[in-house]
Structure 1
Amino acid sequence: MGTIDDKVILVTGAARGIGRAIALRLAQDGANIALVDMDAAGLEKVDKEIAAIGRKATIFQADVSNRDQVYAAVDHAEKELGGFDVIINNAGIASVQPIAQAQPEEVERLININIKGVLWGIQAAAAKFRARKQKGKIISAASIAGHEGFPLLGVYSASKFAVRALTQSAAKEYAADGITVNAYCPGVVGTDMWVEIDAKMAEITGAKIGETYDQYVNGIALGRAQTPEDVAGFVAYLAGPDADYMTGQAPIIDGGLVYR
């Protein structure tokens, strides 16, 4: 077991991709995991994977853009797993379009999930930590697109810049309660989300399928695409005691693509 033995950690967007990898890594490190997503079948699979590791898990279907559902997910985690120590606001969606073609419905959806979903997670977790009179950790998914705006990813980039703003503000507001607030900024990760981004970019630019993805990967100093496990290892650090003195930060972990 690791340094987070028996901690209760809630992970949103836990049914696949980076969220799944984070949940499994934290379970391997000794935590008990509340798995939150809208994908019931995906949640069931990850639940079984965590059981095979020998840790406890509980699943809760929720739409993170719905404030009441996020609060209910936190309450569920505490009730089912007997505590509440860390939230990972990992759930998010991508959006690819030129700024000139951004449509109200898609912009609204992006704001609701990528920004409000993180905001409600910060609120709900901090309220729970305060109610329990304990310290806690809030960790949210930003992106390299939260440090640099990319063409055809303007609105997505704006949503991830917003995550950094919320992280900094919340870190200052909650520091006196012993609550730390940080984010993580992945780069080009080989997940379903990047398959969707590549396909949409190909549609807009006329590039072949896979060409945009390869172009980004070729710019990575370490010479390969990122895996969900690469991200999970860093999130495990943020969730553990070695990061206790860190707050308000959104470090980039991207293999050397964006430098700040």
Structure 2
Amino acid sequence: MVARLLRLSSSRGLSSSFGPTLRSQRGFATSKAVSKTAIVSGSGQGIGKAIAIRLARDGFDVCVNDLKKNSKMVESVVDEIKALGRNAVPVYADVSKYAQVESMVQTSVDALGPLDVMVANAGIAQVQWAMDAKEADVQKLFEVNFFGVLWQDQVAAKQFIKQGSGGKIINCASIVAFRPFLMIPVYCATKAAVRSLTQSLAMELAQHKITVNGYAPGVVESSMWDLIDAGMGSINGLPKGQNFENTKGSITIGRTSVPDDVAKMVSFLASPDSDYVTGQTMLVDGGMAFS
């Protein structure tokens, strides 16, 4: 049967196009040129680490970013990614500093190649009533959670435009961008600002074939929520872990999430499957925001 098909294709003058097509397809499947790269800020632990590992499993080479004080965790993530057969580079940078973000992107491009995805994940939280907020506290939260996202988005977009091939920007918002929580009002405001920025940049950058989306985690088992839980406990007197436990009653699915739940959403937003999605902030909250 195969021989008959080959004879037919040859007799119809198709052999010259049929053969090279198969060879080119095989070459595409194994070519290093199809490798993509991503930067994930704040990826030494928690959600950021889960995202970096997931993107590596998806075939990305990853720039693993965090602060220098978290170098041991960063190196561990880099080693884990390399064990998966992907390349990884550690970059220590404070995303609230524009010059350091520029250096981070350049280091990633030099080490891994053209940038395809920027995941602006780094963030901080502080438990405090709005009426007790001090200037330094508010400034620090906005410097990291909002300015840091803006700087990463700006620098990544400039790199994408320079490359001329488009790209994907993925910002970390939060459920509190949709539904504020008590005792973390300034944090809520920074995440609402990220959601708004995501929508605005999606409109601005579409002409360059750049999509801009966000992900909004709910209550996640992570070091950040450990800090939030402890801070809430210092205000409402509940024992350690109780504030976290109390959130389960308002989650439709009935459980708090783990970092991998969020990483799965980022995997989608970083993939070709989301090419027609932009300006969206995707809730990953188990149905908590609207329960």
1:114: how far off? 0.1
C-alpha offsets along residues 185-204 of structure 1, whole Å, 9 cap, x if unaligned? 00000001101100000001
The answer to whether residue 155 in structure 2 is matched with residue 124 in structure 1 is yes
1:259: how far off? 2.4
1:237 is matched with 268
The answer to whether residue 255 in structure 2 is matched with residue 198 in structure 1 is no
Question: Counterpart amino acid of 1:33?
Answer: V
Q: How many residues align?
A: 258
Q: Considering only CA atoms, is the larger Rg found in Structure 1 or Structure 2?
A: 2
2:52 is matched with 23
2:91 is matched with 60
1:99 is matched with 130
Which consecutive segments of 4 or more residues in structure 1 shift more than 2 A?
none
Question: Counterpart amino acid of 1:104?
Answer: E
1:9 to 38, 43, 68: 38
- Gaps of at least 5 residues in structure 2 are 1-28
What is the TM-score with the length of structure 1 in the denominator? 0.97
RMSD (CA atoms) = 1.4
- Gaps of at least 5 residues in structure 1 are none
C-alpha offsets along residues 169-220 of structure 1, whole Å, 9 cap, x if unaligned? 1000000000000000000000011011000000011111111111112221
Supply the distance in 2 between the matched residues of 1:87 and 1:104 (Cα, whole angstroms): 30
Residue 84 of structure 1 aligns to a residue whose secondary structure is coil
Supply the distance in 2 between the matched residues of 1:133 and 1:29 (Cα, whole angstroms): 23
Supply the distance in 1 between the matched residues of 2:98 and 2:90 (Cα, whole angstroms): 18
What is the TM-score with the length of structure 2 in the denominator? 0.87
Supply the distance in 2 between the matched residues of 1:199 and 1:126 (Cα, whole angstroms): 37
2:282 is matched with 251
Residue 281 of structure 2 aligns to a residue whose secondary structure is coil
Supply the distance in 1 between the matched residues of 2:213 and 2:46 (Cα, whole angstroms): 20
Supply the distance in 1 between the matched residues of 2:254 and 2:261 (Cα, whole angstroms): 14
Supply the distance in 2 between the matched residues of 1:145 and 1:73 (Cα, whole angstroms): 28
Question: Counterpart amino acid of 2:98?
Answer: R
The answer to whether residue 201 in structure 2 is matched with residue 167 in structure 1 is no
Question: Counterpart amino acid of 1:72?
Answer: S
After TM superposition, the structure 1 = structure 2 runs for residues 77-156 of structure 1, keeping only pairs within 5 Å, are 77-156=108-187
The answer to whether residue 76 in structure 2 is matched with residue 45 in structure 1 is yes
1:153: how far off? 1.2
Supply the distance in 1 between the matched residues of 2:102 and 2:57 (Cα, whole angstroms): 26
Supply the distance in 2 between the matched residues of 1:131 and 1:115 (Cα, whole angstroms): 24
Question: Counterpart amino acid of 2:51?
Answer: I
Question: Counterpart amino acid of 2:36?
Answer: K
Structure with greater proportional helix content: 2
2:8 is matched with none
Supply the distance in 1 between the matched residues of 2:219 and 2:181 (Cα, whole angstroms): 12
Supply the distance in 2 between the matched residues of 1:132 and 1:166 (Cα, whole angstroms): 23
